Structure 1
Amino acid sequence: MLTNYFKIFIRNLKKNPAYMLINILGLSVGMTASILIFLFVQHELSYDKYHEKSDRIYRLSRSFFSQNGEVNLHLGHLAPPFGPLLKSDFQQDVEEVVRVMNTNLILKNEDNIFEENRFYFTDPEIFNVFSWKVLDGNPETALSFPDGLIISESMARKYFGNADPIGKSLELKAGPVSTNMQVRAVMQDIPDNSHFKADFLATMELVTDFYGGYEQMMKNFGSNNFGTYLLLREGADIASIEARIPDFLNRHIQVGEDGTMPSTWTALHPWRITDIHLHSNLDSELEPNSSIEYVYIYTAIAIFILLIACVNFMNLATARSAKRALEVGLRKVLGAEKELLVGQFMSETILMTMMAAVLALVLAWLALPVFGNFTGKELSLNLLHHPEYLLGLLILVIVVGMIAGSYPSLFLSGFQPVKVLKGTYKIGSIHEKLRSALVVGQFAISIILIVAVLVVINQLNFMKNKELGFDKERVIVLPAYQELVDNYENLSQRYLQHPGIESLALASRVPSGRLLDAMETRAEVNGSLTPMDIRLADIHVSHSFMETFGIEMAAGRDFDYQLASDSTQAFLLNESAIRAIGWASPEEALGKALHYGPRRGYIVGVVKDFHFESLHQPISPMVFMIPDTRFNLIAIRLKQGLEEDAIAYLKEEWIALKPDFPFNYFTIEDRFEQQYKAEEKVGTVFGFFAGLAILISVLGLFGLSAYATEQRTKEIGVRKVMGASIGNIVLLLGKDFLKLVLIGFLIAVPIAWYVMDSWLEGFAYSISISWLVFIIAGFIAAFIAALTVSSQSIRAAMVNPVDAFKVV
């Protein structure tokens, strides 16, 4: 029986190669897109699951509350004392606690000098928690030495080539501090599907020394720089631990002067390690994470494209049903049951789906390097190393085959033999309407994807071109090493003598970064100092910061280098801070007393609001002050046309002053653009798969229009004899299809608006969706449909009427 089915399939393939090719190509394109997306989704869902104890590993985050109970800051890092205290207080439920602290450091080996951003200080027990493979050395003792260092396999090759790295030294430079670290173990590179990836693991003793010793470190509950992980004991309940955390905080953190308990203004939250990558996008993370929303979006796109491909198959199969009506009638007369016919047609569909799957595998394999590079993921389609992919592909073939073949099989097997053999059988209106509905669905999905592309592009253009309230162009940023800070006055004067440098300033943070620093605030309101229930983010700056960034004053004055008190008592606030504190205007704030953390002073000026962070975040209340410490960066504004000369000069100066440190800089403009990379990828993905959806729809429409034209060949010949022009015939044949596109457009508009409006809610500043976007999307779909249908219509209209009658 199966052999007979196969013979019939081959016979139909030879008889109708164009029809078969369209169906197979449409299915293969849909399956290719789905394979690529499912590989991506599978990779996203696999993060940190390779750890043997992943079901018992939790990371803690820390949130801070305002007086009304709202979260005003949520960090993925904790202060250093929490790790040891959690281990001692919850030892019945917690088997192990480890901390990691990431920092950028300079490493030197002979003539090799590199800045490394995957350098982590950690506790010696880290390998008791994480399942990272050590290739050489003893992980249990490597970090117990004061100079202990574990490096990844790729870093071993980078610094030592093919030589054995065990026992060799790397010079570590952090500001003015320089120390030699000894490689005591080499670990396999951390897998790509990890929420953070370390190339270097160093002993925590160096960090302890930085904090002034263990006792001082254990008193510091404000320096939230440590990723902190718990390994629970077998059977331990994380909910029970979380319920006891408020008491834990109240025991260890000092009660406020007014008797405020610590648990009323801060909290710790556990996150299962396998949830971090897709669910944790806090104000600070070890590395940027993804979002479960994008997994849902990409999965939905894959399903939609598969559905479009299946709809194509169903439409073409039912449209060409008359070609096989006689076959079905004869089989039924000869005794074939409906179930047997259903099996035959389903088998044919499965065979075509298998051919499409083979082609899809080839296309996916060819496209995978480009797709993997685009997503930034190490995706693999190696069926030998991943036999589960074969099972997934088999399921995909069966599902697609069943969906694509179900309706055509039932439809074809339902023909009535008497009417078929008499030549009186006609396709019912219900089937015609269903086929039309399927075409409508295809184009509705295509239009939704086109709208999504246009909205994403418009939002990206809005973010990139929106006035930020300061001048981001031609500003480069370098790390501010200690010697530069100590000699800033002399160096700044020397730099300003170069014709390519306009101005420069020191800062703790610069625009395009996150505002993570804040302290307790008291402000003079209605004649008295009042505690403020707001989070006032602080930025430490030098006198020329506002000038360098082109930030305008709303009231008062900028910092004045001639006034010594400005370095110890003066504050600048932004307009958002003025409103948050409760002053009626910037002018009212001038001269008012402000106590910020340990500093006591007064407000000398108010700057206009500007976007320090990306447009994902609203403008925060900010305070600027001139300190004597905590300058991390130096921002330099270059003169237009002289940028390359100025950068070359700065590099020479850098090498002369800091020969052991590489010259690395970034531009403010590039940093802002990098913050929207995720949105750019979404736009590209939507664009690519919208194109595929349209391609599949066009293939189906091409087949349907070709068949419709073939069925009306005689009618076209009669109309031409009666004087109809080519344009009249094209309009006659195309208007029915364009009606379906219009209906699809009307269905797509509200769905697309709702989906994209929800997406835009993720931005503090966003565009309004213009009706023009929908018009453009509808026009694109209609134009493509018209082009596809007209190509068939024009060919039919050009046929000589005499030949048309001969065909019939």
Structure 2
Amino acid sequence: MNTPYFLRRLAKVKSLRFINLLGLVLMFTCVFVSYTYITKELSYDKFYTKSDRIARLTLAFDGNQPDGRLFGDTYAPILKNCPEIEETLKFTKIQTATVIHNDEKYVVNDILLTSGNFFTFFDLPFVQGTLPSAFDSKGKIVISERMAIRLFGQTDVIGQKIGLNSRRLSTNEGFISGVYKDIPDNSHLHSDIIIYGDNFEKDNYCYTYLLLKDKTDTQALADKLTGLIQADINKNKTETVLADVMPLADIHLHSRILRELESNGNINYVYLIGGANILLLIIVLFNLWLNSNVIFSYHRRYYQLLRLNGASSFEVIKDEISIATFLGGISLIFGILLSFFLNKAFGISGESVNIISKIGIAALLLICTVLASLLPAIQNMVSTTFSNQNYDLRTKRFSFSNVRYMLVVQYAIVIFIIIVAAGIKGQMSVIKTNQIGAENDSILVLKEQPQEVIDKFRLFKQELLKHSEIEMVTAAMQLPGEAVRDGIFIKKEDGGESIYCPILIVGEDFFPFFNIKPVSGELPPPLVLTQEEEAQLLTDRFEGKENKTSIRDNYIINRSALKLLGYSSPDEAIGKELILDRSIIDYIPSGRICGVVDDFVFSTVFEEATPMLVIQRNMFMNCFMLHLAPDNTEKALGILNKVWADVNPGYPLDYSFLKDSYKVVYHNELNAERIVNLFSGLCLAITILGLIVFMAFMIKTRTKEIGIRKINGASGKDILYMLNRSLLTWIALAFIIAIPVSKYVMDKWLENFAYKASLPWWLFMGAGVSVMLISVIAVSWQCRHATRINPVEGLKSN
């Protein structure tokens, strides 16, 4: 290859070459990053040896969204007698606990208390100890390699003693019997401490997994279990039940239950990322094809001269192939390098990616790039007189009519993705507006605490409120963003059957903390009993002693609970007596409704409003919440650390901001917002840049026409209108195509939410108008030279 000649060819029409290079680099980068992410998402839990035979059982009652857990061992006989099921695994998750070693205390999240066959299902490799000896008796503890290093600085720790402290752990200490390799990222459950439990499943909510016989039809099994469990329920209750048997490999992307083990992915977002990449690919390849058309048209006379001097068609094609391959190869190299750094920055692991498949993707993209670049040359070689050696040296006119269909498609894609981006942004605004505390960046949360810390909450609160940097402190049985599924049977004062209603137990100042105001009545007054007095009443209840307390609760209900209880208005409910029935919290057996509030989103916007009875107590305050002074966060955190150390010496402090907790709950939606914003920006930028450069070459080919028009009295505005008229027509057509498609896609996506953003007409119109204005401004800016053309000079143009 003649290198100087090759470089001269590249140096010509530099602006178009740059646009092509930029678009290709962005395309390769996005495709490689997305491919790595999608491959990881699709690989979840498939590394377990028996993954194709493991499934999770959940039950939905009365059409409600299923909880991920089943209560106790109620359904054990049914599962045991089902021939399709070889084994059943049960475990419960302890969100937060304190591990004690050498008088040092460490906060550990997500401890699993499990039946003895955990490692039969999830065959994690051991680095110390062996199965079955590591898990052959109840009370044995196995830890991850990461936890062994954290606690002991090594993995050779068999027989070492550790203490465990949690309100839900009956085991206070134990000996380590094994160390397993850290659970890979692409698993739907993670834990650093797994304990062989002792009768934990009898009076507890447990996750239930099934080891199925080979080739078992999970849907048929789910239908069978629905019938068997429904028949068993009908003996005592009138509930309806629907069983779901979900294959292990489907849980991460397809499960939509309450109380997931971890925040899952979503198959819809995999489709979204894949679709966004396809749209970007279409736009980049279209611009590449369009620019190649312009470049070939620009060099047409040069190629004709080559043909007249005996050069074969193959020589012309080879010339184009070499340039297209060079630009594609450079773009590919930069795309791979950028994707490597972006994967690292976003924490996207490439362990699941097969290098052969990645090479295949790169080769396929490179072939598409070269073909898109060659199409103009091939088209001209086979469909014009250029293929024979006629002496036609006229420059072929290149206009919008040559590309109008692809231009419409390109702009339809841009308008579509901008509408989707605006719709997702609107839904994120709905989430932020409705989810309690989501708009406040100064709320700090402390997850589930050990009982010793809970017992000192009142003192902890008093000490914090001595400082102006801490504005408010409250507590609740669980944190916002978690499903409210604990419930109680209640009776109205006029008798009748018991009514089951979800409950939320909160501490003092909960409602002012989240600025929730009653629509009728008033908020609960301060508590009369101390925590110690409540604890004694609870102890007496467990011991069967007569309850002699005259204390009555003050209840808050939401509008959904108002309907559940049969009251026609908030005012009617105020002062009405409610009696608690069959629950451990009935140590204060009754109370009156003191206030009614609007439905507020405590769990997530994926759920419809849940009837809720809110009870203010000292007991069960597992999670703490602090409202910091917004302008003094650093000082407030310093005060928190000092007060915590004074009140709870030896217990590690573990906190996060509520907004960060919500980021975990809504991480799929936040990722979707970022992805669509990124792709809409890239698509629009590539489209406009390509249009600007293309218009420059169009103006150059129409210089004589413009000169003639100016001689005949055309003004600068007339010239601008002429150059923009066709563009406006095609954008309008693209807008008409994009509206129904984007409306359908957004409606389908919004079906995931109980609280939905509206899709007003101006959202669609705004997307079309904004794209049109940006395009017109870009083209008009490029065309400003055409309005200044000297007519005489224009007539001299070839």
TM-score by length of 1: 0.83
**8 Å contact kept, 1:96–1:128:** no
Decide whether the 8 Å contact of 1:329 with 1:415 is kept in 2. no
2:192 is aligned to: 199
Following superposition of structure 1 onto structure 2, how do residues 557-576 of structure 1 map, counting pairs within 5 Å?
557-560=522-525, 571-576=555-560
- Residue by residue over 1:373-414, the C-alpha shift from the partner in whole angstroms, topping out at 9 and shown as x without a partner, is 44x5323698xx622211222233335555665576346411
- Pick one of 509, 513, 516 that aligns with 1:551: 516
Alignment partner, residue 120 of structure 2: 128
| Distance 1:566-1:722 versus aligned 2 partners, 3 A rule | farther
1:583 is aligned to 2:555: no
Secondary structure (helix, strand or coil) at the match of 2:132 reads helix
Instruction: Provide closer, same or farther for how the CA distance between residues 566 and 675 of structure 1 changes in structure 2, counting only shifts above 3 A.
Output: farther
Structure 1 pair 612–240 and aligned structure 2 pair: CA distance change class (3 A): closer
Taking the aligned partners of 2:234 and 2:463, their CA distance within structure 1 comes to: 48
**1:185 is aligned with what amino acid?**
G
Residue 299 (structure 1) aligned with residue 264 (structure 2) = no
1:152–1:187 contact (8 Å) kept in structure 2: yes
Shift of 1:302: 0.7
Q: Which residue of 2 aligns with 1:659?
A: 649
Given that residues 325 and 420 in structure 1 are in contact (C-alpha distance below 8 angstroms), is that contact kept between their aligned partners in structure 2?
A: no
* Deviation at residue 294 of structure 1 after TM alignment: 0.7
Q: Residue 227 of structure 1 aligns to which amino acid in structure 2?
A: Y
Q: Evaluate the alpha carbon distance shift between residue 232 and residue 498 of structure 1 in structure 2; reply closer, same or farther with a 3 A threshold.
A: same
Q: State the shift of 1:726 in Å.
A: 5.2
Counterpart Cα distance in 2 of 1:666 and 1:622: 26
Give CA deviations for 1:678-711 in whole Å, capped at 9, x if unaligned. 3332222111111211232134313421221121
Tell me the residue number matched to 1:68: none
- Are 1:529 and 2:496 counterparts? yes
Matches within 5 A, 1:408-807: 409-410=378-379, 412-416=381-385, 421=390, 423=392, 433=401, 435-465=403-433, 475-478=443-446, 479-486=448-455, 504-523=473-492, 527-532=494-499, 536-542=501-507, 544-560=509-525, 571-589=555-573, 590-598=575-583, 599=586, 601-609=590-598, 610-626=600-616, 629-637=619-627, 648-668=638-658, 671-672=661-662, 675-719=665-709, 728-797=718-787, 804=794, 807=797
Aligned to 2:149: 157
Q: 1:4-33 deviations in whole A, cap 9, x for unaligned?
A: 9x9999896566555444434433432332
C-alpha distance in 1 between matches for 2:520 and 2:319? 79
**8 Å contact kept, 1:168–1:182:** yes
Q: Is residue 379 of structure 1 aligned with residue 379 of structure 2?
A: no
Deviation, 1:544, is: 4.7
| Conserved? CA contact 1:132–1:190, under 8 Å | yes
1:417-439 deviation per Cα after TM superposition (whole angstroms, max 9, x unaligned): 6998364989799x964511211
Summarize the Cα distance change of 1:372–1:550 in structure 2 as closer, same or farther, 3 Å threshold. Answer: same
Counterpart residue identity of residue 497, structure 2: T
Kindly provide the CA deviation profile for residues 226-257 of structure 1, in whole angstroms up to 9, marking residues without a partner as x.
Answer: 2222222334443453344246536877942x
Code of the residue aligned with 1:352 in structure 2: it is A
Structure 1: stretches of 5+ with no match in the other structure: 66-70, 212-216
SS in 1 for 2:71: coil
The one-character-per-residue Cα deviations of 1:139-179 (angstroms, maximum 9, x if unpaired) are 32212244533222222322222463333333322149773
Provide the rounded CA distance (Å) in 2 between the counterparts of 1:123 and 1:699: 61
Question: Is 1:277 the counterpart of 2:276 in the alignment?
Answer: no
Q: SS of the residue aligned with 2:360?
A: helix
Aligned pair count? 770
**Residues 434 and 714 from structure 1, CA distance in 2 versus in 1: closer, same or farther, beyond 3 angstroms?**
closer
Q: Deviations over 1:556-580 (max 9, x none)?
A: 4544557776856654322221123
3-state secondary structure, aligned to 1:536: strand
* Larger deviation, residues 751-760 vs 665-674: 665-674
**CA separation of 1:251/1:150 partners in 2, compared to 1, >3 Å: closer, same or farther?**
farther
- Separation in structure 1 between the aligned mates of residue 770 and residue 351 of structure 2, nearest angstrom: 35
Tell me the CA shift for residue 467 of structure 1.
8.7
Match of 1:56 in 2: 53
1:187 match: 180
Q: Give the 3 Å change call, closer, same or farther, for CA 605–673 of structure 1 in structure 2.
A: farther
- In the alignment, which of 346, 363, 372 is matched to residue 394 of structure 1? 363
Corresponding residue number in structure 2 for 1:360: 332
1:314–1:408 contact (8 Å) kept in structure 2: no
Once residues 318 and 188 of structure 2 are traced to their aligned partners in structure 1, the CA distance between those partners, rounded to angstroms, is 45
> Secondary structure at the residue paired with 2:590?
strand
Change (3 A) 1:495 1:528: same
- Given candidates 101, 107, 123, the residue that maps to 1:109 is 101
- After TM superposition, the structure 1 stretch with the greater mean CA deviation from structure 2, 7-16 or 657-666, is 7-16
**SS of 1:113 mapped into structure 2:** strand
Secondary structure in 1 aligned to 2:108?
strand
8 Å contact kept, 2:10–2:323 = no
Secondary structure at the counterpart of residue 139 of structure 1: coil
| Cα RMSD after superposing both structures | 4.1
Which deviations, in whole Å up to 9, do the C-alpha atoms of 1:707-743 show, x marking residues without a partner? 2112112233445566766555444333333433333
TM-score between the two structures when normalised by the length of structure 2: 0.84
Q: Which sections of structure 2, spanning at least 5 residues, go unmatched? A: 530-548
How far off its partner does 1:306 sit? 0.8
1:584: Cα distance to partner?
A: 0.7
Deviations 1:730-785 (A, max 9, x none): 44333333433333233323333332343334333333223443344334323432
* Amino acid in the other structure paired with 2:91: V
* Per-residue Cα deviation, 1:54-77 (whole angstroms, up to 9, x for no partner): 211111122222xxxxx2241122
Distance 1:76 1:466, change over 3 A: closer
For 2:543, the equivalent position in structure 1 comes to none
Question: Cα deviations across residues 337-356 of structure 1 (Å, max 9, x unaligned)?
Answer: 9xx87x97599469726742
> Relative to 1, partners in 2 of residues 1:165 and 1:232: Cα closer, same or farther, differing over 3 Å?
same
Instruction: Give the whole-Å Cα distance in 1 for the aligned partners of 2:517 and 2:438.
Output: 8
Question: How far off its partner does 1:193 sit?
Answer: 1.3
1:231 is aligned, of 211, 214, 220, to 211
The 1:722–1:667 alpha-carbon spacing in structure 2 relative to 1, beyond 3 Å, is same
Q: Secondary structure of 2:175's partner?
A: strand
Amino acid at match of 1:747: I
Does the 8 Å CA contact 1:95/1:233 hold for their aligned counterparts?
yes
1:622 is displaced (CA, Å) by: 0.4
Range that drifts further, 401-410 or 509-518: 401-410
Cα 1:738–1:597 shift into 2, 3 Å:
same
Q: 1:414 to 1:428 in 2, by over 3 A?
A: farther
479-488 or 7-16, which deviates more: 7-16
The answer to which of 674-683 and 128-137 deviates more is 674-683
Q: Does 1:72 align with 2:40?
A: no
- Compared with structure 1, are the counterparts of its residues 740 and 139 closer, same or farther at alpha carbon in structure 2 (3 Å cutoff)? same
User: What CA distance in whole angstroms lies between the structure 1 residues aligned with 2:617 and 2:341?
Assistant: 50
Q: CA offset at residue 538 of structure 1? A: 0.5
- Amino acid of the structure 1 residue aligned with 2:685: L
